[in-house]
Amino acid sequence: MTKLRIFLVLFAWGSAAFAQAYHPADAYRYVSSRGSDSNDGLSPGTAFATPQHCNAVVVALGGGTCDARTLYYFTTGTEIDVGQHSPAVAVTLLVPPHGLWNGSVSGGSSNVLKVFSLGSVIGTSAGQGNPFVIEASSGASVIDVCGTEPSPTSGSSYIHMEGFGCQSQGGATVSGAVIHIQSLFDVSRISDLSASASSANTKALWIHGVCCGTMVERVKGHGSAISGNVPCTIGSGSDSNQGGDIGPISCTGAGSGQNDLVIIQSSVGNAPGHYHDVYTEMYLTADTSTAVVAVTGSSGLSDFLDRLTLGADHLGSTRYMIEIANGTSLIARNIQLGGYSGNGINDHNPGHGSVSPGASAVITDYSTQNVCCALASYFTSLDASGIKNDKGLQLFDATATCTTAASVGATCTTASIPLPVAEPDTNYRVVCTGKGGGSGVAVIQSIINSSATQFTITIAALTAAAATFPSYDCMVGHN
């Protein structure tokens, strides 16, 4: 090799090495289990030991990245911050693909992980195998395990979080939620997160105050079927979701007497929330009556709930898919009932009632705002199999019958005939037609609505022969 060629090779190698080296002021730092906070963090070999120290360094540099992808296991007694309260600084924390960060944070006034405005926490876990998890230990006392800042200086935050899980161990105290998403501006993105609550009386996933195109998708809340646990809570009563897009989400494992999803409405704001593709499971065999979704609070705006599915329930279940409190406003579409309970929607607003189309039925459209369409939604199953009975319309065959005496004008009254679906009161209309094949010449004289669940038919003989109908075709409607 000539001297010129040797010089060119060495020059090229040196130039490449120089181009790849980090300047001390470059805001990219490494964190690893073999690091030390006395290092400079500029390379994997001189990594920091804690994400807290790394965050302080890159914040002081005006923002940057903390690469903690090889910090697989870490224990801390202090809050892990991403960014700072004021002024907001763009900080990205890269977390491992698997492993565990255990937080023994105490005092009840901090998180294990807190993400400030312009902060990003990025992982690659998608729930399979051994995903990366940030947890509150059994003795921890925190506001949230993982959460965004509650009161940003500009009113809301711009946040990006994806690809990891958060959990609380049994014995932990979590006053907020395992994952608490709040006060976010448009284009914030939250995806591929999992919140699991193993501590009692804990919200797993809590979302409120998200605005204007914020996307929360492929996020799971799991209550572990532990007492007091609510898998998913949307809204806070004083902080509404305005135009945020939330879904798909998974809400499973509610504690006894708790809903899988609670929507808390508020009069604050001028745009409704949009929640869609919600998957639920009710685990506890002892609880077969608690509704899957509860809508509470008060709002003049109708939130949208589209494509709700119950994936697991129990034999004997009578639960409603959605329980709507008086004063709330909701548009519900494509509500897929489970395979056991036939109860769909129980609406406590005046002029409304319950919708019970039958197990495995689909409620295609329901609104608390429009009495017309709310009643129309009773016709939930006009398909090739015919109309399924509900309060709006019932078509059925009645076999209870009676026989008159053998004299003109003689009458008899049938035993009580049950309605396939109970009406809300006795103000329903009944039309029945006697079927042929009986004896004598019979006519229907009167029908009495004896209760909201049954009625009787009185027939009369037109000739001196005993008269009867073997059965009746009946139609019941309510307005």
Residues 104, 124 share a domain:
yes
Specify if 292 maps to a domain: yes
Q: Would you say residue 126 has pLDDT above 80?
A: no
Percent of the chain, pLDDT > 90? 70
Q: What is the pLDDT of residue 114?
A: 98
Do 162 and 281 sit in the same domain of this protein?
Answer: no
Residues 63, 152, single domain; the answer is yes
CA distance 291 to 359: 14
171 and 46 in one domain?
Answer: yes
Q: Residue 148 — very low, low, confident or very high, per pLDDT cuts 50/70/90?
A: very high
Domain count, the chain: 3
Whether residue 355 is found in the same domain as residue 423: no
Encoded tokens for 205: 């996933």
Convert the pLDDT of each residue in 69-118 to its tens digit.
999 999 999 999 999 999 999 999 999 999 999 999 999 999 999 999 99
Do 32 and 123 belong together in one domain?
yes
All residues at 6 or more sequence positions from 149 whose CB lies less than 8 Å from its CB, including other chains: 85, 114, 115, 116, 117, 157, 183
259 and 343, same domain (yes or no): yes
Q: Does 14 fall in a domain? A: no
In a domain, 231, yes or no: no
- Is 1 part of any domain? no
Q: 425: domain range?
A: 393-477
Predicted local confidence at residue 384, as pLDDT: 43
What are the angstrom distances between the C-alpha of 333 and each of 274, 303, 330, 358, 363?
Answer: 11, 11, 10, 16, 7
Q: Are 120 and 157 in contact (CB under 8 A)?
A: no
Phi/psi for 58 (5° steps) reads -70, -30
Q: Are residues 52 and 165 in the same domain?
A: yes
Spatial contact of 120 and 82, defined as CB atoms under 8 Å apart? yes
Q: What is the CATH number of the domain that holds 457?
A: 2.60.40
CA distances from 424 to 72, 89, 101, 391 (A): 59, 58, 54, 8
Q: Are residues 166 and 34 in the same domain?
A: yes
Output the pTM of the full model: 0.75
Residue labelled with tokens 């075709």: 473
Q: What is the mean pLDDT of residues 392-421?
A: 92
pLDDT of residue 447: 95
pLDDT in tens, 212-229: 778 889 999 999 999 999
Give the DSSP H or E segment for 15. helix 3-20
pLDDT on residue 270: 66
371 and 406 together in one domain? no
pLDDT digits (tens, 9 = 90+) for 164-213: 999 999 999 999 999 999 988 888 899 999 999 999 999 999 998 888 77
Torsion on CA atoms 322, 324, 328, 329, rounded to nearest 10 = 50
Q: What is the mean pLDDT of residues 22-34?
A: 83
Instruction: State pLDDT tens for residues 411-458.
Output: 999 999 999 888 888 989 999 999 888 889 999 999 999 999 999 999
